[in-house]
Amino acid sequence: MTDFNLANPHDYDHQHSSSAGTGWLRASVFGAMDGLVSNIGLITGIAAAGASAGIIAITGISGLISGAVSMALGEYTSVRTQNEQLEVEVETERRALERNPAGEEAELAEMFTHLGMEPATATAAASQVHASTEQALKVHLAHELGLSTDERPSPMVAAGSSLIAFSAGAIIPVLPFLFGFGTLWWGLAFGAVGLVLAGYLAAKFTGRSPLAGAGRQLLFGGVAVVATYSIGMLLGVSSFA
């Protein structure tokens, strides 16, 4: 029989998903959804305007390439900026610990007290933490700013994940046009299947309701379709002649 008082609860009671993959997961989910919705909307708009199947295919591929590159560059810049900001905060806290270690230790003891520790226990705990400068740095960053020096997403991983995911999503509604049976309805059908599948898988991965996730993404895609179809019908290809 397991001694629940001594065993690690993660061994028998519950598990947490690793947050180390947050960078690629967020970039992949966002990229796939964005690729699907943006390219569904794009081909719907030009199809409603009266463009030929060939023009729709070229436009869809162009949207895929430009969108994937844009997403990758944006993710790279975003994650790198995030990591650089973390470095700034780390150095700021490190200098504070060097200038005023006693004051920082008293601050940590006060934070422990606010978490429910008795003052004497909080003081002893803060003293033990401050026995190691690096450990003190990590604890202060975690409690004061909610930051962790151990979890820094890779800009390259985020960029690559975003590029691949956007491309995978964006190609789906264009496939009928590339294989020669392209009509708007086929493109919408492929896009709808992609949205449902992407929403379902994302929800499964995060533990949410798969049906709700699939329905939500289908709704988002439907809003884009209605908007771009209306604009395409109002303008028409002849409007730009």
- What gap in Å lies between CA 164 and CA 28, rounded to an integer? 8
Q: What region, left, alpha or beta, does residue 170 occupy, with left being phi > 0 and alpha being psi -120 to 50 degrees?
A: alpha
**How is the chain split into domains, by residue range?**
23-230
pLDDT at 220: 87
Amino acid at site 65: I
Yes or no: say if 162 and 71 are a contact pair by the CB < 8 Å rule: yes
Task: Provide the pLDDT confidence category of residue 69 given band limits of 50, 70 and 90.
Answer: very high
Backbone angles phi, psi at 188, to 5 degrees: -65, -40
Backbone angles phi, psi at 89, to 5 degrees: -65, -40
pLDDT tens-digit series, residues 159-204: 888 899 999 999 999 999 988 887 889 999 999 998 888 888 777 7
**Which H or E element spans position 202?**
helix 184-206
**Owner of token pair 């002649």:** 241
What is the Rg, in whole angstroms, of the alpha carbon atoms belonging to the chain? 26
pLDDT at residue 92 greater than cutoff 60: yes
**Which H or E element spans position 155?**
helix 155-171
Buried b vs exposed e over 124-160: b needs ≥16 C-beta within 10 Å? Answer: ebbeebbeeeeebbbbbbeeeeebeeeeebebebbbb
Q: Around Cβ 208, how many Cβ atoms within 10 Å? A: 13
Whole-number mean pLDDT of the chain?
83
Q: What is the mean pLDDT of residues 145-161?
A: 82
Yes or no: say if 191 and 40 are a contact pair by the CB < 8 Å rule: yes
pTM of the model: 0.73
CA count, 13 A, side-chain hemisphere, 109: 18
Task: Provide the pLDDT confidence category of residue 39 given band limits of 50, 70 and 90.
Answer: very high
